[in-house]
Amino acid sequence: MVIDTLERPARTVGAALDVNHVSHRYQLKGEPLPVLDDVSLSVAPGEFVALLGPSGCGKSTLLRLVAGLEPPAEGELLVDAAQVTGPDPSRVVVFQDPTLYPWRTVWKNAALGLEARGLLKAQRGRVDEALELVGLGGFASAYPHQLSGGMAQRAALARALVNEPRLLILDEPLGKLDSLTRIAMQGELVRLWQRQRFTTLLVTHDVEEALLLATRVVVFSPRPARIRAEIAVDLEYPRHRDDPHLVNKRREVLALLGVGDATN
């Protein structure tokens, strides 16, 4: 039926996220390990928010809670005003390690989400579209071992995009890439976000990356993570790393992270 294609919106629209007074802790050798301390954060539909903070402060934990992989010890998380109670294909996570199945082709890896939901037969075209979007159209039949690091990460991104996420959750997705691939993929991420309009939550340890990509940067304290500052980045895209505004913001953020000195 023609109606089916007409009814599907040309662009997915981002979700709103509200993190209200969320605290979280793990048990470590029988002792509670506080990880998040009263974190409150509101993200508007279509925003791109970067989370920065010292290693081990609790950033990935916050993403796990947003993804619904575990419930918070205290507080609540709302996506479009509905409480997060578990994982959902509209909120997908891309991790630093692309974790592709080695025995599946790129196409089959990207198709996993649709297959799991029994939608693959009806919506095969979405897999092709997602691969095109990330520039892997010509590599559909390749196997993971035939891909470079950047291509593998693109495949993981395609696997997420197939679900037409309304909230894309990225946990240091470019962290293991060489610097040239990383720079190229930063630009690609911005273009994807601008085109698909999903809300994006990105954890990165790279201050410059946060400022190049995000509309807002949230800086966390050391564990247990508290929000130390939120910095709006109201610069046009494409941004340039040597833009004086960006350089100034970088200095500001580094100071908030406690690493600002004469060399920065």
Question: Between 60 and 90, whose beta carbon lies closer to Mg ion?
Answer: 60
The number of beta carbons lying within 10 Å of the beta carbon of residue 30 is: 5
Among 8, 26, 146, 178, binds ligand ADP (CB under 6 A): 26
176 vs 182: CA distance, rounded Å: 9
| By the rule CB under 6 A, 56 interacts with ligand ADP | yes
| By the rule CB under 5 A, 60 interacts with Mg ion | yes
252 vs 247: CA distance, rounded Å: 9
Q: Are strands 199-203 and 48-52 parallel, antiparallel or unpaired?
A: parallel
| By the rule CB under 6 A, 24 interacts with ligand ADP | no
Q: Which stretch binds ligand ADP (CB under 6 A): 48-56, 110-118, 191-199, 235-243?
A: 48-56
Q: Which stretch binds Mg ion (CB under 5 A): 31-39, 60-68, 99-107, 256-264?
A: 60-68
| By the rule CB under 6 A, 57 interacts with ligand ADP | yes
How buried is residue 262: exposed, middle or buried, by Cβ count under 10 Å (0-12/13-18/19+)? exposed
Among 20, 23, 60, 90, binds ligand ADP (CB under 6 A): 60
CA-CA-CA-CA dihedral for 157, 145, 108, 79, to nearest 10: -20
214 vs 190: CA distance, rounded Å: 9
129 vs 147: CA distance, rounded Å: 19
Binding residues for Mg ion, rule CB under 5 A, total 1
Q: How far is the CB of 217 from ligand ADP (least distance, A)?
A: 15
Q: How far is the CB of 62 from ligand ADP (least distance, A)?
A: 7
Residues near Mg ion, by CB under 5 A: 60
Residues near ligand ADP, by CB under 6 A: 26, 28, 33, 35, 53, 55-61, 223
